[in-house]
Amino acid sequence: MEQEAVPAMVITGAFLADYAEVRGEKLYCEGGAWSDVSRPWPDAYLALLLDTGPDDVGRTYQLVIGVTGPDGEQRDYASGMMPIRQRAMVATMPFPIPPDLGAGRYGFQCRLIGQDRAPAVFGLHVY
């Protein structure tokens, strides 16, 4: 059985925005770098800053987003496949805010399966 290579790409940063997309290998966002949110949850996009190499194009990585709550409990919130179609140094995706979040400070961690590097993190205060 052939062993899958460890991801070379690194997620170096992550933040939430009102809207974000990649055009021409550049990040375009509106209302970026949220620090707090309140109900009803607004639409959100996750913007990821990536350190990619030429070997990453055409590969697909599994992205996992974890969340740590005010009580210190950590859980995986979302997981999905992230295909790398071009050598853009950014990626974006819709980000539904977890419906069960109560008031307090939360930390989100974005990591790639198979990679032991520190995840990219961002915080969000829920009111």
Predicted confidence band at 104 (pLDDT cuts at 50, 70, 90)? very high
Query: pLDDT at residue 1 above 70?
Result: no
Q: Provide the pLDDT for residue 4.
A: 52
CATH number at residue 118: 2.60.40.1930
Residue 117's domain comprises 10-126
- Asked, for residue 16, whether it belongs to a domain, the answer is yes
Least confident of 33-37, 89-93, 101-105, 119-123: 89-93
Give a yes or no: residue 77 inside a domain.
yes
- Is residue 4 in some structural domain? no
How many distinct structural domains can be found in the chain? 1
Structural domain includes residue 2: no
- Which contacts qualify for 73-81: CB closer than 8 Å, 24 or more apart? 77/108
Would you state the structure tokens that stand for residue 37, as one six-digit string? Answer: 């949110």
- Residue closest to 104 by CA, chosen among 56, 58, 70, 55: 70
